[in-house]
Structure formats: structure tokens, C-alpha cells
Chain A
Amino acid sequence: MSSQAQTAVADEEAHSGPARRWAEFAPASVLRFVFREDRFFLILSVFIGILSGLLVVCFHYAMGWCQIYLLGTGAAPSTVRLLLVPTLAGLVIAVLVIHVFPEARGSGVNQTKAALYIYNGYIPLKAAVGKFITSALAIGSGHSLGPEDPSLQIGASLASAIGRRLRLSRDRMRLIAPAGAAAGLAAAFNAPISAVLFVIEEVIGRWTAGILGSVVLAAVSSAVVMRWFLGAEPFFRIPTVRMQQPSELIAYSILGVVGGLASVVFSSGIAFLRPVCKRLRPWTQYLQPAVAGLLTGCIAVLGAPQVMGAGYVYIDEAMHGQFTWQFLAILGGLKILATLMSFVAGTPGGMFAPTLFIGAMLGGAVGGAQHVLLPHLSGSVGTYALVGMGVLFAGFLRAPMTSVFMVLEMSGNYSIIVPVILANTIAYVISRALQPVPIFDALSRQDGVELPSMEEQREEDVLHVEDAMEPPGEVVLDSRDTVGKAAVLMEQSGREALVIRLHPSGWGSITSQDLKALVQTDRGSQTLEAVLGKDQVPFLHPDHPLDMALRYVDRWPLVPVVNRADLGKLEGVITEHDVLERYRDFGRE
């Protein structure tokens, strides 16, 4: 007996009966089971979540300390501090970003996407260190930016470093950065569901059980760590939210329009000004964050210190009706200006918090204005502010699913779902119509990187079999027909190939050349069944993607397309020529 045969016998013995059962519980089998790479990756996701959560908590403290030691402990810093601190911090940040941490510049979302699609999951750990230091300094000194995008990148970068250290396979390495990103975002946002959705919707772009499992585990463990240290309270104390009457939907529609237009102004401003700032002379790069900081300070001195930093405190106040609707509208406008300046100047920091701030202010303003103009329509200002946050998220970040779930997760109230969906959809549609390129895609293109657009992927037209198939024609051969009859029918039909209905079920096909060959070999009196046997041709359904047809059309001259409810009903036929022709036409379209 050869060694291979011996091994096979041994394997067979091991895989049957009591021996097999014993083998399942052997320590080696358990270890092999647990440490199989896909399972180990899930365990690893939990560790990534925990470590990302810890880092984001430290980042939170760092921002708090920067604010206390730079801007002072009071709610109203002195004029000198308001002007000097963001300006000087801007200078320091510029030096750090240009000379020490060039990786800290740019969007964390795009860097994670680049790691997934270009660099096989590689994000340098230095990017996390740089983002941590420069973003904490920027946000703590009052630059109008948020901590979520840096947190996302810190998580992704940490995950990438761990993956490299553990020498994961290339496929796992590609997925580890998004898992870290979800962990970072979940900890920064205190919203694990939104974080998972955002990463799936904007970074990975596809749902599979493996990806979802690791992303969810990372996000949840990170959120748990964050809540352990910072408390389970949400960032915003959500007021009592209710929709009193259906006619309020009119008011929410108006909010959707306002939010959509504001998103367009915001994203167009960034798309236009960022390249302008980048084209300026190199030495101006040192001054741009400082100038942005000075202008933000000026806005604060002129009466709107709320625009400084992430602004969560003021989102909370807006939701609780602490400002007049006119002031809310002014704050929304000024925040767009301040964030625009800070971001295009290359100051590290994210746009999530400013987006929420602008949305809350505009939402509150619309709600307040409607209270005055149409008192019978409006719910509480807080409800409008809450919906407004989702509206800007949908319009500016172009993440419609995340925007809806974010509002629901933050409010913990599902009665608001109808206005949220309505307003978010309106804002999304307006933003998409007026600003076709989403902001993340615009930023990556400005940086010279062509990352896949998740929005384009979502809305990409997919060709189906029904788009390319031909009608079945009147002639369908029967497997009980003789070859001679079939040859006559083929000639009458004028086709090169015909489908054959097999008995008791199934389909086959035959070309005119094959029939001619059979007739020439004197088999014209035999049935098709006798000469061809029971070999079936695989069939397709009209809704199958056209890609699926490519698997068969080169091997069979004619592939039947049948009805899903009645497999004996022929809906059409498809050939290689049909498929290629349809793809050619699609390319021209």
C-alpha cells in the first residue's frame, strides 16, 4: 500500500465513528478550530476594538486638556486668547504637518479606503500618532473641526499596525483597516450602529458575513470601552421627540430643502477652495492654518464663540431651545465658513462634528422660524435640530443610510423615523443633483487618487439576462423529434441553433451544423434523445446578472432563459453574440 493510500485510510478512520468524535475534542483540533484565520480575525477584531477605544478615549482627554490649558477653563475665553490661541496653534500644526507628520493631512475616510483598495491594508502608525497630536491641538485650540474622522483614522492605523505585526494574509490585511476605522468612529461617536453602517456604506461598499462580523465586533467592543471610561450618556441630551401631526411633514420637507442647499454650499466651497489653497506658494502652507485659526477667532470675538472646536455643547443647547432661530441660522452660516477655512487650510481634523453642528443649527432655525410663521405646524425646536443633523449628514457626507440610523441611534426614538427619512432623502437628492461628485470622492481626486466611489457603485446600472436575450421564437425542438424532422424545422426557422425540450424536464440545444452532420451519417430516423443522450444545457432566468450568462455562452451555442415559476416555460434564448453585443451597446451608452 502506498503512503498516500495509507494516509487516506488513516484519514477515513479518523473521520468516522468514535475516533472521529474523539478527534474533534483533541486539543490540537480545538486550537486548529479556534485559530483558523477567519475565526482568529474575529477575535482580533475585538482586540482592535478595545485598543482603538482606549486610544480614542485618550484622544478625547487630549482634546479636553488642550482646550483647558490653551483657551482657559471658562465658557467665555478672553478676546486675547480667542485671537491668539487658534492662530499660534495653527502655526505649530502647520510645522508639525509639513515636517513631522505629513500623513496626518487629509481625510481619514479616504486614507482607509486607499488602504483597502491600493495599499493592501497598509496605513502607517505614524499617521495615527500625527492625527492624534495635531487634531487634538487643532480642535482643543478652537479650530472648527471634529474628532470623528481623526478617531476613525487612528483606529484604522492601529488596526493596520496590529495586522502587520501578526502577519495576516493579504485579504485579511485589506479588511483590518475598515474594522479599525469602525472601532475608532464608534468610540468617537458613541454610536456603534452608525459607525458600522458608515464604514460599510462609505469605505467597504459591500456586505458579507465575514466583513460585517469583524466590523461589528470591533465597533461594539470599542463603544463598550468608550462607555466604560466616558459614561453611557449620549453626546447630546435628546429632548422629548415627537411628531404631533402629519402636516408637520411639510415643515420637515422644507428642512430637507434647506439642508440640501446648505450641503451643496458647504461641499462646493471645499471642492473649490481646497485646490486653490493647495496651489498657493509653498511657504503659505505654514500660514494657512494660522490664518484659518485667526479668522475663526475673529468670528468668536464678534459674538459667535460657539463655532470654535467640535461644538457638541452648543448642539446640545440648540436642541434644548437655548438660542433664537435667527441666531441659530447665523451660527449655521458662520460654522460653514469657519469649517471651510479650517479644512481647506489643511488643518487636521474631521468634518463630521461640524456637519452635525451646521445641521442642528439650521434645523433649529427652520423649526424656530416655522414656530413663528406657522405655529400650528411645528414640533419642538429640538426635534428639528435633531432631524437637521441627519439632513446635513445625508446631504454633505452622502451617507443616506447612516444618516437615518444615526438620528435613530442618537435619539433612541423611532417615532421620528418618517420625518428623518423624508428630510434626509430630499437633502440627498438635492445635493446629488447640484453637486454630482460626493465630497470624499472630490477630495481623493484632488489628491490624485482615484478611489472607487461608493455612491457610484451603489447606483451603477447592472445588466441582466433579460437585457440581452432574444425571444424564444416559434420553433422549439422536442427531444422525441427525429433528427430528420429537427433538421427540417431548423431549416424552416432559418436559425443557426435551436433549443430542445427534454423529457421529463430540462433543456438542451443543438446547432444546424450538428444536425446536418447527424443526417449525413444516416441517423435522420433516430430521435434527438437517442443521439444526444440526456445531457442538459444549464438554463438562466431573466433577472440573472448578465455576467452569469458569460459562464455558459462560450460552451453552449444557445442557452435557454426560463421562467422562475415554471421551469418548462421558455422566456427567451441567449447566445455569446447577444451578450457581447449588449455589453458593447452599454459601453456606448
Chain B
Amino acid sequence: MAKGPRRLDLSRYLRRKPLDLALLTGLAVVAFVFVEGLSRIYFAQQRSLAERWSARGTADLKAQNYPAAVADFRSSLLYARDNGIYQLDLAEALLGMKRTDEAYNYLINLWEREPENGMVNLELARIAAQREDTHQALRFYHDAIYATWPGNQEEETQNCRLELIHYLLRSHALAQAQAELMALEANIPDDSPEQVQLGQLFLQAQGYQQALHAFQLGLRSNRRNHEAMLGAGMAAFQLGLYPAAERYLRDAVITSPHDAQSMTWFKKARFVLETDPYLPDLSEVQKNRIALNAFATAGNRLKVCPAQGSPAVPAAVLQGLEQQWTKLKPQMTEWRLRRNPDLVNTAMDLAFQIERQTVIGCAAPTQADQALLLIANLHEEN
């Protein structure tokens, strides 16, 4: 009898609780659907606002109206906080306003989220280069080269490497520039007109052998390419290949007779050739005459040096050279040279010695002195 009311309570309780639970579930479902609808409206509006402000920003960026672009992109980021493209655009606008630190912070944050983003790495590299932070610049340039790029990956990578090479050349990091150029070279086909550009970069990086090779490849695809002729001539000249240099440079002058640079280098090459007594196919008379001129040039060089010497050339050295020159002078006649062919070598050795010793500490060398120096170096290498 006592259990009757308890059972009644329990059944009422059990009837009520599942009902409550069902009602709560229904309420939650209805509310969820309602908020889902609201969300769609809200986020559609957010997207639309972000795109609208970004479009304005892009237009302002193109018009180089950087302050307006900064405000626009900031607005677009209010509605799409994590959009990397807007952030990058904002960084570019800030860079346009020379607010490098702010731009750097935006970019570094982007980089932390997307370390493989090529554009972000490239912009960071540019900022580091601007700040003359070579270590960071190299790091970001390399990251940009090996990063992922939208669109043509190969082209973007090549452009990045080219930019890095230009930066290295500006920084006089020639060995690193040559290494990058070699990596670039591997990706340029032999018959590509870009070989000429590559050759010029090698030339700037003092990679003369590679430069000559690149120019030769360039000439192979276009025999009338003046740039390639000039470049090949200059590279050959630097390598001491004066006859080849003269040939390339002569062609360059013929192709572009008004180009002063080609003419200057051609004259230089010609002059070196005219000053070198060791060229093959020279008659004995020619050889002796060149040796006499070289000996006289060296004597004149000694005269422009201060008698008391200089830190680079001590007076004792100068005096010793002058004594040797004076001692040899009486023997330097065409007749004696004809009688004693070894005298040419003796005279040229002394002339080379004088030019080398006096290259620093005396007055600026004349064209003839420079030519003698070049021949001295070539002769020494051989």
C-alpha cells in the first residue's frame, strides 16, 4: 500500500524528465538552425566587405596612393583577418609609404604562418637587403627560391635567383654570385637568348670563363648579336686571350661602329697585341721593335716615380731597378738584339719587373704600361 504514491511520483517524474529532455533537444535544434542561417548572412556580408575593401586597396596600390591603400587593406583585414593576400598587399602598401618596420612585422607574421610562401620570403629578403642585413637577406632569398609560388614556379624561382645575384653583385659577394649564376646556368637552355644576359652577369661576377662560354652560346643562336660579341671580347680579354678578344671586339665594332665601349675595348686589345713580343707569327724585326718600345716604356715609368720612393715602392728597390735599366740600356739596339736574341727576354723581364713594382706608389700607368702589365701577367701564367 505504501508503494502506491511512490510509484506514482516516480512514473510522473520519469514522464516529465524525458519530455523535458525532448523539449530541450527540440529547442536546441531550432536554435541551431536559426543561428546557422544568421551565420550565413553574417559571413556573406563579411566576405563581401573584405572583397570590396581589398578591391579599393588594389586600385589605390596601382595608383601608388599608398596611404589610402593602407587604410583600405586594414579595413579588408577587419573582415578577413587571416587572409594572407590582403596582408601581403598591406605590407606592400606600407613599403610604398616607407613604413618598413610595420611592413616587416606583417610579413614576418605571415612568414611564421606560411614559411614556404615565396612572395613573403622575397619581400622579407628585399627588406633585409634594404637594411643591409646580408645574413637575413640571403636566408630569405634562398627560402624564396625554394618556396612555392602560384603560377609559373620555374619562372618565379629564376626571377628570385636573378634578384639574389644582382644583390650579391651589389654587395661585392662575387664568389657567392658566381655560385648562384652556375645554378641559374643549369636552368637556361644553350640556345636561349638569355645566355647573353647570363654572360653579362658572369662578367660582372668575374667568372670570365663561364661568361665567355655563355656569350659563345649566345652567338651560336644569333651570330650578329652585338652584346654577345662585346661580352665575349671582354671575357676573352680578361682571360688573356687577346687574339680572340681582338677578333670578337672587331666584329662588335663592325656590327655597331658607333658603340664607344666596343671601340675602346677593341683598341685596348689591339694595343696589347701590339705590345706583346711573344705573339706567334711575328718576324724577328717586329719582335725586336716591340721589345725596344717596351724597354723604353718601362724606363719612362721609372722616371715618373718619386726618387725618394714611397711606402709601396721603397727607394732602394727603385734605385736597383734603375741601375739595371741603365746598365741594359746601351745594349738595347736593333743590331745587338739581332745578334743576341736572348736579350729580348732579358729586356722584357726587366720591363715586366719595373711595371709590377711601380703599379702602386707611382703615377697612374699609361695605356702602354697597362698593356705591359697584362702581358706580364699572361707571361707569368704561361
Contact = CB atoms under 8 A, between A and B. Distances in A.
Contacts of A76: 71, 74-75
Contact of A58 (B35, B78, B82, B105): B35
A61 B42 contact: yes
7 contacts: A61-B38, A73-B49, A73-B52, A73-B53, A75-B75, A237-B81, A237-B113
A127 B318 CA distance: 104
Q: Which 9 A-B pairs have the closest CB atoms?
A: A75-B74, A321-B105, A35-B17, A75-B75, A74-B75, A47-B24, A320-B109, A54-B31, A61-B42
Contacts of A3: 1-2
Contact of B109 (A58, A61, A166, A239): A239
A58 B102 CA distance: 34
B24 A162 contact: yes
B38 A313 contact: no
A385 to B, nearest CB: 12
A271 B20 CA distance: 44
Interface of A: 3-4, 7, 28, 31-32, 35, 40, 43-44, 47, 50-51, 54, 57-58, 61, 64-65, 68, 73-76, 162, 166, 229, 233, 237, 239-240, 313, 316, 320-322
A24 to B, nearest CB: 16
Contacts of A166: 20
Contacts of A162: 24
Contacts of B36: 229
B32 A54 contact: yes
B112 interface: yes
A58 B28 contact: no
A54 B14 CA distance: 28
Given A75-B71, A76-B71, A322 B106 contact: yes
Contacts of B52: 73
A51 B42 contact: no
B75 A73 contact: yes
A7 B3 contact: yes
A35 B35 contact: no
Contacts of B102: 322
Contacts of B10: 32
A229 B45 CA distance: 15
Interface string B73-96: 011011101100000000000000
A240 B81 contact: no
A341 to B, nearest CB: 25
B317 interface: no
Interface string B32-56: 1001101100100110010011000
Given A51-B27, A58-B35, A74-B75, 19 more contacts: A4-B2, A31-B14, A31-B18, A47-B24, A47-B25, A51-B28, A54-B35, A58-B38, A61-B39, A64-B46, A65-B42, A68-B49, A75-B71, A76-B71, A76-B74, A166-B20, A239-B109, A320-B109, A322-B105
A50 B101 CA distance: 44
B34 to A, nearest CB: 8
A75 B56 CA distance: 13
A152 B45 CA distance: 27
Contacts of B24: 44, 47, 162
Task: Tell me what chain B mostly uses at the interface: helix, strand, loop, or mixed.
Answer: helix
A57 B39 contact: yes
Contact of B31 (A40, A51, A237): A51
Nearest to B31: A54
Contacts of B113: 237
A40 B17 contact: yes
A566 to B, nearest CB: 51
Nearest to A43: B21
B14 A28 contact: yes
B206 to A, nearest CB: 38
A320 B106 contact: yes
A57 B25 CA distance: 18
A233 B79 CA distance: 14
Contacts of B39: 57, 61, 229
Contacts of A64: 42, 46
A35 B31 contact: no
Contacts of B82: 233, 237
A65 B35 CA distance: 15
Contacts of B14: 28, 31-32, 35
A587 B39 CA distance: 58
Nearest to A167: B16
Contacts of B53: 73-74
A332 to B, nearest CB: 19
Nearest to B102: A322
Given A54-B32, A229-B35, A322-B102, A239 B71 contact: no
A54 B18 CA distance: 23
A455 to B, nearest CB: 36
Of listed B17, B74, B75, residue having the most chain A CB within 10 A: B17
Contacts of A44: 24
A61 B77 CA distance: 17
Nearest to B27: A51
Nearest to A44: B24
A485 to B, nearest CB: 58
Contacts of B105: 320-322
Contact of A57 (B3, B20, B35): B35
A65 B39 CA distance: 12
A74 B1 CA distance: 76
B28 to A, nearest CB: 5
B12 to A, nearest CB: 12
Contact of B81 (A47, A74, A316): A316
A3 B1 CA distance: 8
B35 to A, nearest CB: 5
Contacts of A65: 42
Of listed A65, A73, A239, A320, residue having the most chain B CB within 10 A: A73
Contacts of A68: 45, 49
Contact of B28 (A50, A229, A322): A50
B109 A237 contact: yes
Contact of A74 (B20, B27, B71): B71
B105 to A, nearest CB: 4
B246 to A, nearest CB: 59
B276 to A, nearest CB: 59
A313 B81 CA distance: 9
Of listed B1, B25, B109, residue having the most chain A CB within 10 A: B109
A371 to B, nearest CB: 12
A370 to B, nearest CB: 17
Nearest to A235: B81
